[in-house]
Amino acid sequence: MRNIKLTIEYDGTNYHGWQIQPNAITVQAAIQDALEKITKTQAQIVGAGRTDTGVHAAGQVANFHTRSQIPLISFQKALNATLPRDIVIVDAEEVPPDFHARFSAVSRTYRYTILNRAYPSALLRNSTYFFPEPINVQGADTACQWLVGKQDFSSFQRSGSERINPICETYKCRCWREGDFVYFEIEADAFLRGMVRAIVGTVLKLHDKHDGVDRLNKILDARERSTAGTSVPPHGLSLLRIKY
């Protein structure tokens, strides 16, 4: 039995997230269907992160076990020839039997992209969040720094989250500008459902306030989702990389 690790890139616009759902088109289901066509056997693929509807990935990781002796390069080429064009297998490699895409991960990094100018973009409408108001990037980055470390992120957890433990350790949280684009990047050992989008929405609410950091600390201490800002839309979010 071989254990195959896949690195996957996808545009999540047309999918109801990563995880298989009844009566919904998902990325996981699309890849499993493609694997079954190639190997002629039922496949079960495990993903490192459960991206929500409309969220993209540049470095999603998944693994599956198979008795097929198809060479790795052939797996990659066959999958890319079978999958829809908005899902691409970037790499395929054989890993030890105990490797698990989700539980073996040390950290995950998400990036949120904002188009920050006076007019929107027709070409980038599915991958960036158009925000016309000026963003105080320095203030936003200062607020982000206060989110680094092991903390209770209950205030940024979407209702209905399956994760019982709200404690996450963030290794990096920053904001910067490149031309018309403002980026938020967060690396952590784990994420609550909707956490990144809620954090970005909250920081955008506080970025130009002189007491923004104090307000952010109060939001963290409250441990109530209602105290934080409105979540930004999913299409600006991308799962950037997984570390093992």
Catalytic residues: 52
Nearest to 15 by CA among 23, 2, 24, 6: 24
For 123, residues 6+ apart whose C-beta sits below 8 A from its C-beta are: none
Long-range CB contact pairs, 14-23, < 8 A, 24+: 14/84, 14/86, 15/53, 15/54, 16/53, 17/50, 17/51, 17/52, 17/53, 17/55, 18/47, 18/49, 18/50, 18/51, 18/57, 18/60, 19/47, 19/50
For 97, residues 6+ apart whose C-beta sits below 8 A from its C-beta are: 1, 3, 65
Helix, coil or strand: residue 2: strand
Helix, coil or strand: residue 87: strand
Q: Put residue 179 in one of left, alpha, beta given phi > 0 → left and psi -120 to 50 → alpha.
A: left
Nearest to 116 by CA among 105, 128, 108: 128
